[in-house]
Chains A and B, each alone.
Chain A
Amino acid sequence: NAGVTQTPKFQVLKTGQSMTLQCAQDMNHNSMYWYRQDPGMGLRLIYYSASEGTTDKGEVPNGYNVSRLNKREFSLRLESAAPSQTSVYFCASSEPGAPKNIQYFGAGTRLSVL
């Protein structure tokens, strides 16, 4: 049981390049999330998907797009990377509804934009 798997683990981009961060979960969860973590700050929600076929903006969605490909997979795309997007990106999943709306996180993707 792998839980939440993110790829790649590390990536370096030049300003203006595009890339897609991949996330897959094998826990049959309905909800999935993308966060970014910057030094000295907590995690900030970029986008989330409450269920397959739906996506919603979080706190910091500008510059990003997402796709909920199926129940297992939720990808994050940077169309034109900027240095301000240098960060560590985390994907998470959960099964909403008390008492088990617990979030499980992937290992993170460390992205540098030069």
Chain B
Amino acid sequence: GIQVEQSPPDLILQEGANSTLRCNFSDSVNNLQWFHQNPWGQLINLFYIPSGTKQNGRLSATTVATERYSLLYISSSQTTDSGVYFCAVTFSGGYQKVTFGIGTKLQVIP
């Protein structure tokens, strides 16, 4: 079946460290987004990135659609980066149906 897998499931970082989160998907996609859910539950869109590379400050993302994966890079992590990071995809032919991975829970400690 259609799947979105994220790794690692949990991650603890010292403040200032860098990290890479991965999202694998089982079929071709026409939409891929990365979200951050903060400790208060709010979901914020970080990137819309069905292919290619984008950067926004300390965050960047790369999607290699032909190999069915996306990476989210966090550099110089801060405590405010803590929360859960979700990858969400719309599979080709899936219209507006969005499938979420189960997320990577990140804790950045001072």
Contacts and interface: CB of A to CB of B under 8 A. Distances in A.
Interface in B13-58: 30-31, 33, 35, 41-45, 48, 50
Contacts of A59: 99
Interface string A27-56: 000010101000011111100101000000
A88 B1 CA distance: 25
B48 A100 contact: yes
- Where chain B touches its partner, the secondary structure class is strand
A64 interface: no
Contacts of A105: 35, 42-44
A98 B51 CA distance: 12
A50 B95 contact: yes
B102 interface: yes
A59 B45 CA distance: 22
Interface string B86-110: 1010100001111111110000000
Contacts of A33: 96, 98
B100 A101 contact: no
Nearest to A49: B96
Interface in A64-114: 88, 90, 94, 96, 98-105, 107-108
B48 A102 contact: yes
A4 B42 CA distance: 12
Contacts of B97: 45, 48, 58
B41 A107 contact: yes
A101 B41 contact: no
Contacts of B50: 98
Nearest to A101: B31
Given A33-B96, A42-B103, A107-B41, 14 more contacts: A35-B100, A42-B86, A42-B88, A43-B86, A43-B100, A48-B96, A50-B95, A50-B96, A59-B99, A94-B96, A96-B96, A98-B31, A101-B96, A103-B98
